[in-house]
A and B are shown apart, each in its own frame.
Chain A
């Protein structure tokens, strides 16, 4: 049976690329890949600067923490307490403790 040429056509496709087109495609692929690589590298470098900034901030916070610790230690020192005692007279000298002695198991009033 003969096929109806109107509804069915058999194409033989042959894709032919010339040397110039081939060069163009190759160069385009290389350029695109290069751009991709450069953008990734740049992003990484930007992250590097962010990281560096964070490191500096961390060092700054650590330094401030140390300063605060020093201030706390200074304020809790015996010299400072005595100085504030002289100014405010809030503290009382420790008095001798009176120990109760009893053979009874009941607490004394």
Chain B
């Protein structure tokens, strides 16, 4: 019996031991599975809890323009801003009526509007009341200290000059996409590179400095300084707007360029009845056509082009300044007649007289002397027509110059006085700069300098592409252009006390099958002071309703813009 009992106890102990061993094996097996087999998975889950990835946004570069009245010589035209947004958690607002009354008196919305937002939120715990709070509004909201009201900072872009040079600057929308102008053209430089932070955080979300953190610092965008002067631009825009409205024109444009550096000093476009293009309220603009920069759009220039034909003729040596031409009222080229605009016979005339009186026959004669091949080469290879100027904007028209075998002789002859050829005001300004600066083709530019990381200024050098025409040829054309102002059709452009060189152009508007008999485009190109040119100015008025000739539409705009420039830059007279 004692033996049996001993055996029973042993059995139970053995069973317990085996069971314990089995349980241990199960636990160890489970631990092995969790810690070894599923190691990577649980490590990832754990890291996900205490490691957080954040994007670190880069600051967008700012855009400056020149400003003679600012101490630093420049001021901001596009800058970064913190836009404070007032929002509410409707559930937390104690008394919506009372809250609406207090808020509305501060932020300038009606009580009903605010109450409606609180009662009909876009989502249960969030409704935007107003964005873009001023500093005073923010201080007052904080003072009233209402439950459920919050102010959140939102980074945004701000244009302090609102609509000034809107077509040149463009804008950046709320998603950060740059559209039009400098903002779009230089987006890759302005936007910088965002960074990343992978950091260990505690339960409250605070970064643990001693944690295993990985930081890629953001690289802020570079800032730009433009060649444009803010004050010149503002006055130019006002002059242009007044002229377009006065003449009931469809639109107009003005370009002011430094002929020696190619720097654009002002670049204005205006459409009749254009709404105010306040860049800060770009989302309210319905028709983005108004953002088109007319200085970059091609058109048939008309008689302003004659200065180019004259320069080509003189530089080639095929004509001399002292040569004469017999104007017999019309010529026949390629079986078609070409007349002067006044349909008169002028008899024997000098080369200067051709420009003074804007004789189509005279420039057709010069083109004939050059020949189509040489004429084409002068237009394209020498003066750069038929191709983009290479200004930093990518969205300029290239214009159109027909090759010698593309069109008939008559069409080629009309190209000499600016018909059957398409150019942009920028191309014309660049070409006339060749005459103004003594013969060099300079690449136009809108960037004065880059500010790397907002600090180090890196100037953009002037690019002289080539010597286009001789200094003598440039001087002779200058003299003729001065005569045009003094004795010819450009008297309205003259500024008393200064030698001004210029040329008018009244072009017909092409339509399918010919030209519109009721529409014209008035242009004027010139530079001053002619003895030491500082500015090339190109003005264009599209389809003025009350006057026919450029002398009455574009020339007065040139005069007003030039007069302002001479005063602003304190340039003494040169007409002694």
User: What residues of chain A have their CB less than 8 Å away from a CB belonging to chain B?
Assistant: 44-45, 47-49, 51-52, 63, 66-67, 69-71, 73-74, 76-79, 94, 96-97, 99, 101
State which residues 56-102 of B face A: CB under 8 Å.
70, 75-76, 79-82
The residue in chain B whose Cβ has the minimal distance to the Cβ of A51 is B209
Instruction: Please give the distance in Å from A71's CB to the nearest CB on chain B.
Output: 7
Choose the segment among B142-150, B154-162, B257-265, B407-415 that binds chain A (4+ C-beta atoms closer than 8 Å).
B154-162
Instruction: Please give the distance in Å from B90's CB to the nearest CB on chain A.
Output: 27
Say if the beta carbon of B164 comes within 8 Å of chain A: yes
Given the known interface contacts A52-B206, A99-B572, the answer about A70 and B81 at a Cβ–Cβ threshold of 8 Å is yes
Say if the beta carbon of B331 comes within 8 Å of chain A: no
Instruction: Please give the distance in Å from B155's CB to the nearest CB on chain A.
Output: 9
> Could you say which residues of chain A place their CB within 8 Å of the CB of B70?
76
- Contact of A49 (CB < 8 Å), options: B135, B206, B231: B206
Say if the beta carbon of B18 comes within 8 Å of chain A: no
Say if the beta carbon of B497 comes within 8 Å of chain A: yes
Say if the beta carbon of B8 comes within 8 Å of chain A: no
> Could you say which residues of chain A place their CB within 8 Å of the CB of B338?
none
Given the known interface contacts A48-B209, A101-B576, the answer about A67 and B160 at a Cβ–Cβ threshold of 8 Å is no
A77 touches B82 (CB 8 A): no
A67 touches B206 (CB 8 A): no
Kindly list 15 other residue pairs between chains A and B, CB separation below 8 angstroms, not including A78-B230, A94-B567, A96-B567: A44-B209, A47-B209, A48-B207, A66-B80, A66-B81, A73-B158, A76-B75, A76-B160, A77-B160, A77-B161, A77-B162, A78-B231, A97-B570, A99-B572, A101-B573
> Could you say which residues of chain B place their CB within 8 Å of the CB of A66?
80-82
- Contact of B207 (CB < 8 Å), options: A52, A70, A99: A52
> Could you say which residues of chain B place their CB within 8 Å of the CB of A73?
75-76, 79, 158, 160
> Could you say which residues of chain B place their CB within 8 Å of the CB of A77?
160-162
> Could you say which residues of chain B place their CB within 8 Å of the CB of A78?
161, 164, 230-231, 234
Sort A-B residue pairs by CB-CB distance and give the 6 closest, nearest first: A73-B160, A48-B209, A77-B160, A70-B81, A63-B82, A99-B572
| Cα separation A63 to B154 with both chains bound (whole Å) | 10
A-B contact pairs, 8 of them (CB 8 A): A45-B208, A66-B80, A67-B81, A69-B79, A70-B158, A71-B135, A78-B234, A99-B497
| Cα separation A97 to B75 with both chains bound (whole Å) | 26
> Could you say which residues of chain A place their CB within 8 Å of the CB of B573?
99, 101
> Could you say which residues of chain A place their CB within 8 Å of the CB of B79?
69-70, 73
> Could you say which residues of chain A place their CB within 8 Å of the CB of B76?
73
Say if the beta carbon of B175 comes within 8 Å of chain A: no
| Cα separation A49 to B234 with both chains bound (whole Å) | 51
> Could you say which residues of chain A place their CB within 8 Å of the CB of B80?
66
- Contact of B206 (CB < 8 Å), options: A48, A69, A70, A99: A48
Hey, what's the 0/1 contact readout for B207-234 against A, CB within 8 Å counting as 1? 1111000000000000000000011001
Instruction: Please give the distance in Å from B209's CB to the nearest CB on chain A.
Output: 4
Instruction: Please give the distance in Å from B304's CB to the nearest CB on chain A.
Output: 28
Instruction: Please give the distance in Å from A102's CB to the nearest CB on chain B.
Output: 11
B160 touches A74 (CB 8 A): yes
- Contact of A44 (CB < 8 Å), options: B162, B164, B210: B210
Say if the beta carbon of B153 comes within 8 Å of chain A: yes
| Cα separation A94 to B162 with both chains bound (whole Å) | 24
- Contact of B162 (CB < 8 Å), options: A52, A71, A79: A79
Hey, what's the 0/1 contact readout for B534-576 against A, CB within 8 Å counting as 1? 0000000000000000000000000000000001001011001
| Cα separation A92 to B482 with both chains bound (whole Å) | 34
The residue in chain A whose Cβ has the minimal distance to the Cβ of B163 is A79
- Contact of A97 (CB < 8 Å), options: B153, B208, B567: B567
Q: Which of A44, A51, A69, A73 has most B Cβ within 10 Å?
A: A73
| Cα separation A93 to B101 with both chains bound (whole Å) | 45
Instruction: Please give the distance in Å from B43's CB to the nearest CB on chain A.
Output: 23
> Could you say which residues of chain B place their CB within 8 Å of the CB of A97?
567, 570
| Cα separation A73 to B80 with both chains bound (whole Å) | 11
Instruction: Please give the distance in Å from A45's CB to the nearest CB on chain B.
Output: 7
